[in-house]
Amino acid sequence: MVDLLVVSQVAKRFGRTTILEDVDLAVAAGEVVALTGENGAGKSTLMQICAGLIRAESGDVRVGGRIGYCPQSPGLFELLTADDHLVMFGCGAGISRADSLSRGHEVLAEFGFPMDDRAVTRDLSGGTRQKLNLALALLTDPSILLLDEPYQGFDRGTYVNFWDHCERWRNEGKAVVVVTHMLAELERVDRVIELPAHPSRSRHGSGR
C-alpha cells in the first residue's frame, strides 16, 4: 500500500525541553496506527506537526492528500450551532452550504449527535461537542485522519462505534493516526507506536 503520511527525522523542542527527537513515521493508505506514550511524550505535538499547525525544528513531513485533524479539545465558537460550524468549515474547503450540511449531518448522525438539538455549542455536553469536533475533521472526506484522543467524553456506545468507524476508514483506504491511552482497543489497530518520554527519547519513535 502507498504511504499517505511520511514523517522523517522530526525534532521539536519547547525552550530547553526536547519533546521529539528524530521521529520517523510512515502511515499507509488503509492503515490505522495508534500513537501511545506517557503524558508529555509529544503525541499531540507530533500530531500538530503532521497537521502543519506547528513547525518542527528539523525533519520533514510529506502527505499524500487532504488532512482531517481532530484536536484533543474541541476549539469551537461557543455561540454558534453545529450547523453554523458545518457551513463555516465546509466553506473553507469550497463545499456549498447545502452540501456541508448534508455531509455533516450524515457524519453527526453516525455518532449519535442529537440532530434535533439546535443548541449553541456552549450548551452541549463535552462528549457531544467532541462529536461535532470529529465531524468537522471528517467533513471534507480527507484521506489522512489525525485524531488526538477524539473519543473524550463519549459514552460507551459511541466509544465502541468510534473504533468500528476506524475499521471503516481503513477499508475506505484512509491513513488514520489515533492518539490513545485506551490499551484495550489496541488490538483493533494495525500498528502501535509508542513515543518514549523525554529526555531519553532517541530513535524509538521509528514506525517501521
Partner 1 sequence: MMSSLRRIVIMAEMHGRDLTRRHAAIALLVALPLSFYFASMGSGATAVLAGGVGMSFSVSGATLFSILSSSEVDQRLVLGGYSPLELLLGRLLFLGPFGLMIAVSFSVLMALISHPARPLVLGLGVAVVALQSVPFGLAVGAALPRELEGTLVLIGVIGLQLSANPKSFIARILPFHSPRQIIASSLDAQGAIAAPLLQTAIYGLALLVVARVFVARRVDVRRHQSIS
Q: How far is the CB of 152 from partner 1 (least distance, A)?
A: 15
Q: Which positions from 49 through 108 interact with partner 1, judged by CB under 8 A?
A: 51-53, 55, 60-64, 67, 69, 71, 73, 75-80, 84, 87-89, 91-94
Question: Which of 112, 110, 172 has the alpha carbon at shortest distance from 141?
Answer: 172
Query: Residue 32 and residue 109: Cα distance in Å, rounded?
Result: 23
N-terminal to C-terminal alpha carbon distance within the chain: 14
Neighbours of 155 (CB within 10 A): 13
Q: Closest approach of Cβ 101 to partner 1, in Å?
A: 13
The site that binds partner 1 (CB under 8 A) totals a number of residues, namely: 34
Instruction: Report if residue 130 touches partner 1, rule: CB under 8 A.
Output: no
Longest dimension (CA), the chain: 51
Bridge partners, 180 (sequence order): none
Between 26 and 195, CB nearer to partner 1 = 26
In the stretch 169-198, what mask flags binding to partner 1 with x, by CB under 8 A?
------------------------------
Q: Which is nearer to partner 1, 53 or 98 (CB)?
A: 53
Q: How far apart are CA 127 and CA 158, in angstroms?
A: 9
Q: Which residues are CB-neighbours of 169 under 8 A, at least 6 positions away?
A: 32, 145, 176
Residues that bind partner 1 (CB under 8 A): 2-4, 6, 51-53, 55, 60-64, 67, 69, 71, 73, 75-80, 84, 87-89, 91-94, 120, 136, 140
